[in-house]
Amino acid sequence: MKTIYYYQSFCSLEKMIENSQQVDTIIVSSIHFGKFKNEPYIHLNNNYPTSPLFDKVWLDLQKLYFNGVTIMCMVGGAGGAFTNLFSDFETYYPMLKEFLKEKKFITGIDLDIEEQVDIKDVKKLINCLVKDFGEDFTITMAPVAESLMNDNPSGFSSINYKDLYKSLEGRAIKWFNVQAYGCYNFSTYDKIIQNDYPPEKIVFGMISGDFSNDNFHIALKEIELIKTNYPNMGGCDIWEMINAPPDINDPSKWSALIKN
């Protein structure tokens, strides 16, 4: 059962390094594409990935990688990304490829599509990633729970995930980091599984704003219920690390409690 952190607010990773045996994956967030003075560029939270601002971030993530933690990066999210990427794929994709090739400790990518895109473009991107990085490269996606519960594209995205999952390209998706924000309970997970998604492909994602030290035990009870009914559930993720309950001063405690 995987424990996965989204890492966008670049807080200290000291506690994570000290307790990395409980941590499976960290997803660095978020890569976007755009133009600066009419020149196309790739950016991580509005800065070039090569910016000195990220020197310590990359160094600490590499330490975690050597400790056995899988390091991935996320593309997209609330700020978009895919409209720009697909509007000039031949320009932007090589930038993404170069970034991933340069950061060899990044061994996967999470596609968080929260905009209207053509499923054909998503398939093209997946095919390119497999071709350039191999089948062992981890490709995941981050749909909202509703999208997997009823096969209807949500207001966030135009993607029909069932169609994508059942396609040839869908076989390359290692798992789904489901955004179960505001609906983090057994019923949500169960409806997704009953909609023909295997439990091992479903990582149940919580948002830190829904839980604190006062009510985190409720989430743990729901996870225990899911695990009892679906012993091979994929795991859990948290958006985001900096506010991971129950102790915002030690985000590693979240994964320790989830593992238990």
Contacts of 16 (CB under 8 A, 6+ apart): 5, 23, 26, 64, 69, 241, 251, 252
Q: Indicate the fold that domain 2-259 takes in CATH.
A: TIM Barrel (3.20.20)
Q: What is the pLDDT of residue 203?
A: 98
Q: What is the pLDDT of residues 116-129, one digit of tens each?
A: 999 999 999 999 99
Query: Are 201 and 180 a contacting pair, CB within 8 Å?
Result: no
Domain ranges across the chain: 2-259
Going by their DSSP bridges, the two strands 25-36 and 39-44 should be labelled as: antiparallel
Q: What is the pLDDT of residues 163-186, one digit of tens each?
A: 999 999 999 999 999 999 999 999
The pLDDT of 67-91, averaged and rounded, is 95
* pTM of the entire predicted model: 0.97
Round the average pLDDT of the chain to a whole number and report it.
96
Q: What is the pLDDT of residue 49?
A: 96
Instruction: Say how far apart CA 185 and CA 91 lie, in whole Å.
Output: 42
